[in-house]
Amino acid sequence: MSIIEVKNLSFTYGIGTPFEKKAVDDVSLCVNEGEVIGLIGHTGSGKSTFVQMLNGLIKPTSGQVLLEGKDIWEKSKEIRKICFKVGMVFQYPEYQLFDETVYKDISFGPRNKGLSEEEIDLTVRKAAKFVGLSDRLLNKSPFDLSGGEKRRAAIAGVIAMDPDVLVLDEPTAGLDPKGREVLLAQIMGYHKERKNTIFFVSHSMEDISRIADRVMVMNKGRLEMLDTPKNIFAQVEKIESMGLRVPQITKIMMTLRERGYDITDGVLTVEQAFSEIINLLEKEGKI
Amino acid sequence: MSFISVEDVKFSYDEDKNYVLNGLNLKIEKGEFVALLGHNGCGKSTAAKLLNAMFLPDEGTVVVDNMITSDEKLTYEIRRNVGLVLQNPDNQLVASVIEEDVAFGPENLGVPPEEIRERVDKALRTVGMYEYRKHAPHKLSGGQKQRVAIAGILAMHPECVVFDEPTAMLDPSGRDEVMNTILRLKENGITVVLITHYMDEAVMADRVVVMDNGNILTVGTPREVFSQVHLLKKHSLDVPQATELIYKLSGAGLKFDEMPLNTEECVNFLEGVLK
């Protein structure tokens, strides 16, 4: 069953002013429960506007967002409740930490959800564990944490609300390779256990190709492509014409394929490329 | 004498002498393009801020173009000479019109108005933003904003520009725009120090310096450095995917003379064994 259904969704900024701009243009798709959707597109392609309509932060100019079959704007006075179901982690979420301690910061969401102290304590600790923050750090001021720890604390604050749908806007930007690796593994670990639905916005095609079940490609406000990473990144020219890139490894293997070598379409990881090459050599009896 | 010379520098943010930089030695020649790599917290951003006297060493010396950064009388001259471009473009633009933003630096240096005009136009042309000179910065894409920030520094006629993760917040085409601009600066004889987490950017440098724990782990040409895949991985750093594939294949017994740095080289190396 689809958890989110987006129907002909559009949003125009500054209607009736000289700055009128259609940011999202007639986007429709169905997302199944438990799916990981990667969302790519160049700056200004409408990704952020789109995801902000998923949890009611922006009201669509036209079209609908159905969450479990119900239009989220049906009772517009209760739109804020949607934030608990569709959790949003913004870009550079560490700038939004505000409370005295990490513990208090993470508990802000569950407290506003109206949970009891006991439940709050449980969810805070669970969320902290998911993102790999030790108990020792919970009583520290969030401003004493390292960059990577701050990022994880901010994500824990959203996870603590236990949303069915989690939207992550560039969660790995600015982290070093190891920090990226660890955070991705934690998000995927959480996903495996919670079986929630994830929207993952990123400029890192390597990250997207590793975790997404399906990829949305946005261009000039429209949903240009929606397919598996393999099928998306196989279309190098189309992707590049939209100001995006395919992972380097994909490009290497595509080039070999074009030069006549027997290589599968849409190789996405170094591991895959490695076995492709080894298989090819074995088949030809070269090793 | 090298253009920039960092000698036995120790630096700590607190009184307890938890050194972020612990006896760092680094020489950078005029016109050189040096990439600085290392995981978060290894001290590379701190090192960058020592190069233009934003921070002063606790011990040791930093000399830029024969000027020692600890001499307060030279501080402004050093900062004019060594420009700094940071990660977030939105934090670096101050004016509401692009050409005014670029003029901010030279105005504060007391450059005569006619010359400011000249410098601003030239700087904007160098970064390819001249057509946008009358626009408002907030309407630009991230890559364009970064290029305007670079123009603002060029207008002060620096000899060196230090970039601290200038592409971390940009989309792929924005990253290309900024990297092309950086290569153009190098062609114009400007010394470039680039701090980055992207290995495909580091391979464009003349020299790669890898930092760890406040000191240099290894240094060399991109090919020399990225050939040490094992060492880099051990210190939680990455290598380009092209290099990693060839590294894995040589681990499986295939013979390669050297490590590739980019897509083209990797394809050629693979063709070499597949043919």
Interface test with A, best of B267, B268, B269, B271 (most A CBs within 10 A): B267
User: Is residue A103 predicted with pLDDT exceeding 90?
Assistant: yes
Nearest residue of A to residue B237, measured between CA atoms: A177
Return mean pLDDT, chain A: 92
- Model confidence band, residue A266 (pLDDT cutoffs 50, 70, 90): confident
Domain spanning B4-221: CATH superfamily: P-loop containing nucleotide triphosphate hydrolases (3.40.50.300)
Report pLDDT digits (tens) over A21-53. Answer: 899 999 999 999 999 999 999 888 999 999 999
Give the integer Cα–Cα distance in Å for A154 and A147: 11
Going B136 to A94 to B46 to B193, the CA torsion angle's sign is: negative
Whether A275 contacts chain B with CB within 8 A = no
pLDDT band at A147 (very low <50, low <70, confident <90, very high): confident
CB contact under 8 A, A255 and B39: no
For A109-142, how does the pLDDT look when each residue is reduced to its tens digit (9 = 90+)?
A: 999 888 999 999 999 999 999 998 988 999 999 9
Chain B partners within 8 Å of A249 (Cβ): 241-242, 245
* ipTM confidence score: 0.82
Each residue's pLDDT tens digit, B44-76: 989 999 999 999 999 999 999 999 999 999 999
- Rg for chain A (alpha carbons), in Å? 21
Contact B41, B236 (CB under 8 A): no
Higher pLDDT, B139 or A74: A74
Helix/strand/coil for A220: coil
Q: For residues A199 and A83, which has the higher predicted lDDT (pLDDT)? A: A199
Q: Find, in chain B, the residue whose alpha carbon is nearest to that of A19.
A: B139
- Give the mean model confidence (pLDDT) for residues A57-83: 93
β-pairing, A36-40 vs A214-219, is: parallel
Give the residue-averaged pLDDT of A57-77.
Answer: 94
pLDDT confidence band for B141 (50 / 70 / 90)? confident
Q: Are strands A222-227 and A214-219 parallel, antiparallel or unpaired?
A: antiparallel
Cα B156 to Cα B112: distance, rounded to the nearest angstrom: 12
Nearest chain B residue (CA) to A263: B274
Query: What residues does each domain of chain B span?
Result: 4-221
The pTM for the full model equals: 0.87
Q: For residue A221, give the nearest of A23, A1, A17, A18 by alpha carbon.
A: A23
Residue-range domain boundaries for chain A: 2-235, 247-287
Which chain A residue shows the shortest CA-CA distance from B235? A178
Please, which residues have CB within 8 angstroms of residue A119's CB and are 6 or more apart in sequence? Answer: A110
Q: Which helix (H) or strand (E) holds A108?
A: helix A102-112
> Could you tell me which chain B residue has the CA closest to the CA of A255?
B267
Q: Across the interface, do B248 and A274 touch by the CB < 8 Å criterion?
A: yes
Each residue of B174-183: b (16+ CB within 10 Å) or e? bbebbbebbe
Distance of CA A231 to the CA centre of its chain: 19
Chain A residues with CB inside 8 Å of B197's CB?
Answer: 175-177
* pLDDT at position A74 over 80: yes
Contacts of A255 in chain B (CB under 8 A): 263, 267
Copy the structure tokens of residue A50: 């789109």
CB contact under 8 A, B252 and A278: yes
Mean pLDDT of chain B: 93
Residues of B in contact with A177 (CB under 8 A): 39, 197, 236-238
- Higher-confidence residue of B43 and B73: namely B73
Query: The domain A2-235: what is its CATH number?
Result: 3.40.50.300
Q: How far apart are CA A48 and CA A86, in angstroms?
A: 14
Out of A245, A274, A284, whose CB is closest to B249?
A274
Nearest CB neighbour to A270, from listed B41, B165, B241 = B241
Torsion angle in degrees (nearest 10) through CA of B207, B182, B185, B237: -20
pLDDT higher than 80, residue A201: yes
Q: What is the mean pLDDT of residues A65-69?
A: 95
Burial of B138 (0-12, 13-18, 19+ CB in 10 A): exposed
**pLDDT at residue A225 above 90?**
yes
> Would you call B190 helix, strand, or coil by DSSP?
coil
Pairing of strands B59-64, B33-37: unpaired
**pLDDT at position B91:** 85
Q: What is the pLDDT of residues A177-187, one digit of tens each?
A: 888 888 999 99
Given the DSSP bridges, would you call strands B191-195 and B160-164 parallel, antiparallel or unpaired?
parallel
Q: How far apart are CA A49 and CA A55, in angstroms?
A: 11
Q: Which amino acid is at B15?
A: E
User: Mean pLDDT, to the nearest integer, of B109-137?
Assistant: 94
pLDDT band at A284 (very low <50, low <70, confident <90, very high): confident
The per-residue DSSP string of B63-124 comes to EETTEETT-GGGHHHHHHHEEEE-S-GGGT--SSSHHHHHHHHHHHTT--HHHHHHHHHHHH
Per-residue pLDDT band at B9 (split at 50, 70, 90):
very high
pLDDT per position as a tens digit, B177-211: 999 999 999 999 999 999 999 999 999 999 999 99
